[in-house]
Amino acid sequence: MTSPAPEADVSAAAYREAMAQLASAVHLVTTDGPGGRAGLTASSVCSVSDAPPTLLVCLNRASSAYPAFLRNGVLCINTLSAGHEGLAADFAGRVPPGERFTGEGWGQLETGAPVLSEALIAFDCRIVDRHAVGTHDVLICAVAALAEARGADRLLYANRRYHVLPR
């Protein structure tokens, strides 16, 4: 477990203002298993290694979905394409947790985590490590399967709004 960070000399508000300038892909991070089905919108996804294929996602422990991710030990990173802004808003809290999977086609790959059939890319993963840092857990995930729907425009998030990056 990582020791608590020393008192930051940058305010959280100033940090958020700075971070809002960064453009990132947008994902629905989903899970299913003994802990139930859950999901949230996330932008804190990045590659760690390609040998073996490994990525990370940072999960707020206050999120309603957090207990399910820990209990299930698996997740899917569903990278969104243009036209999925509504889904991103739904999974970011616009829709209550228990009602987030009613629409859209959802399937599975290896782990049983929900896979959005129209996702630009789906990274089906097993959680192999976890580091608590401040309010979040950094989840280290081994990629067990991949699916991709080529050719769609990308959905980005920057300056607190969504943007489309043509393919």
Ligand X SMILES: Cc1cc2nc3c(=O)[nH]c(=O)nc-3n(C[C@H](O)[C@H](O)[C@H](O)COP(=O)(O)O)c2cc1C
Ligand Y SMILES: NC(=O)C1=CN([C@@H]2O[C@H](COP(=O)(O)OP(=O)(O)OC[C@H]3O[C@@H](n4cnc5c(N)ncnc54)[C@H](O)[C@@H]3O)[C@@H](O)[C@H]2O)C=CC1
CB 41 within 8 A of CB 92: yes
Residues numbered 14 to 53 that lie near ligand Y (CB under 6 A) are 16, 19-20, 43-44
Residues numbered 89 to 128 that lie near ligand Y (CB under 6 A) are none
60: contact with ligand Y by CB under 6 A? yes
160: contact with ligand Y by CB under 6 A? yes
> For residue 29, which of 109, 129, 116 has the smallest C-alpha distance?
116
CB proximity list for 14: less than 8 A, separation 6 or greater: none
Of 1-9, 12-20, 66-74, 137-145, the window that binds ligand Y (rule: CB under 6 A) is 12-20
CB proximity list for 136: less than 8 A, separation 6 or greater: 44, 58, 59, 60, 61
Nearer to ligand X among residue 63 and residue 111 (C-beta): 63
Nearer to ligand Y among residue 147 and residue 158 (C-beta): 158
First vs last Cα of the chain: how many Å apart? 40
58: contact with ligand Y by CB under 6 A? yes
Question: In sequence order, what are the beta bridge partners of 146?
Answer: 123
131: contact with ligand Y by CB under 6 A? no
* Contact residues: ligand Y, CB under 6 A: 16, 19-20, 43-44, 58, 60, 135, 160
